[in-house]
Amino acid sequence: MLRHCAAIFDLDGVLVDTAKYHFLAWKRLAGELGIEFSETDNERLKGVSRDESLRILLDVGGLQVSATERTALAEKKNCWYIERISQLDESDLLPGASEYLAKLRAIGIPIALASASRNARTVLDRLKIAHFFSATVDGNQLSKAKPDPEIFLLAAAQLGHKPAECVVFEDASAGIAAALAAGMFAVGIGQPTALASADLVVPDLAHCDIFQLFGDGIIGES
């Protein structure tokens, strides 16, 4: 196997689970709009941008609103979400996440975050893991949503590595598709049935063999 030289992580579902907070905020907004919004509907929002998520929610309810109203609704949802994530701390990290990041840094593998969330940096700070990342690409820098590969190509460019040298860790099918479209090795975090197109699937980072993907690393580079 080609030894990879850089790691790119999605945030939600890989390092931390804030999806429940997104769901509660979207469901609250849906309730105000008179829309029945289920967990099944919420699956369509995984890995996509806030604006695209709102479009999907409105589509579920068969509603059309003006651009000004869309902006106000998205901001309302975001305020509710921020209230929730302000309570995050290190205990909310998913199994193996902090340890895996630390091992990557120890063997000299540069790390980037690639998240559609516009609040990604806030979450990293709350979890006290921001220092692991050499680059961060979030929803504020994107023009296209996953499965478009833009987010991962930007992350690779910021790390100074070719796409083929990068491993992407993702929990959503749209994210796996984006990683593969970028020409990167895709590790699915979750259930094989939901992430069948990934190059490798593990239940969480605690079960991911670092040396299988990165060999002995590139000591001295960070």
- Positions annotated as catalytic residues are 10, 12
Determine if the peptide bond prior to 147 is cis (ω within 30°): yes
Token pair for 168:
């992407």
Q: Are 155 and 11 in contact (CB under 8 A)?
A: no
Instruction: Provide φ and ψ at 171, rounded to 5°.
Output: -115, -5
Do the Cβ atoms of 204 and 96 come closer than 8 Å? yes
Q: In which residue are the tokens 């992350």 written?
A: 155
Measured between alpha carbons, how far is 172 from 197 in angstroms, rounded to an integer? Answer: 11
How would you list the strands of the sheet with 185-189, edge to edge? 135-137, 111-114, 6-9, 166-170, 185-189, 200-202
Structure tokens of 216?
Answer: 């002995």
CA distances in angstroms from 30 to 42, 51, 63, listed in the order given: 11, 15, 11
Q: What is the DSSP letter of 148?
A: S
> What span, in angstroms and rounded, lies between the C-alpha atoms of 114 and 156?
10
Closest CA to 205 of 157, 169, 158, 167: 169
